Amino acid sequence: MEHYLFVHFKERRTPEGEQVYFGLSKDGYTWEPVNGGNPVLWSMIGEKGVRDCTIIRSDNGKFYIIATDLSLSYNMRRVYHNSWHEIQQNGSNHLMMWESEDLVHWSNPWSKTVAIPESGCVWAPEVVYDAEEQLYYMFFSATPQEESFKTGNGVQEGTAKEVLMVAVSQYPDHGFRLINFTDPDSCGEENLHTYNAVPGKQDENGNVMDA
């Protein structure tokens, strides 16, 4: 019998909450926990915790779980001093990944860097496959560090918060190239775009931005 699979974490301030859980459903409304409600997969590398899990089935039939590399239980006080701003600016710019051929047996996790080196924490990845182009597109948000605003990676001069980024690859597990929406050679003339800074924030001259 076919089932829906829900891949998720649990919002707890303990290490077991920030791991990978599975839920099964026959109708998409009523869900039953897998593994007795305990984590199915653990991340013991990077920040040793994951959030915002997504799953994709690749064109070769394999499954991949991709998740945010962030542990509040381990690092909120010790590393980030109870500050979400520090997480945004200095958090991991890696994503955590697992691979499986049958949804039962999974590889060990590995990390993948997809954002620009000057970005802070990478959040909430989603991956879609374009069968016509035979390409995988990864969408995620990241927070550019203030000193990186002039790097030409789609971020205007000023102070931004979280920026949606897009990376593309022929493979679901490696080789993602960040698309630069300010460079026509990277994104194509028809897709040129610059990110507006967050309204109400100040630019480098102390002026409040309206856009």
pLDDT of residue 93: 85
Confidence of residue 154 (pLDDT cuts 50, 70, 90): very low
pLDDT of residue 179: 81
pLDDT of residue 115: 67
pTM for this predicted structure: 0.82
Q: Cα–chain-centroid distance for residue 207?
A: 31
Work out the average pLDDT over 159-185: 77
Beta strands in the chain (DSSP E): 4-8, 21-25, 32-33, 50-57, 63-69, 94-100, 110-113, 119-130, 135-144, 163-169, 177-178
pLDDT of residue 155: 44
d(CA 201, CA 61): 46
pLDDT of residue 209: 39
Listed ranges 5-19, 22-36, 148-162; the one with the highest mean pLDDT: 22-36
Confidence of residue 114 (pLDDT cuts 50, 70, 90): confident
Mean pLDDT of all residues in the chain?
82
| DSSP H or E segment with residue 23 | strand 21-25
Among 78-82, 126-130, 170-174, 175-179, the minimum mean pLDDT is found in: 175-179
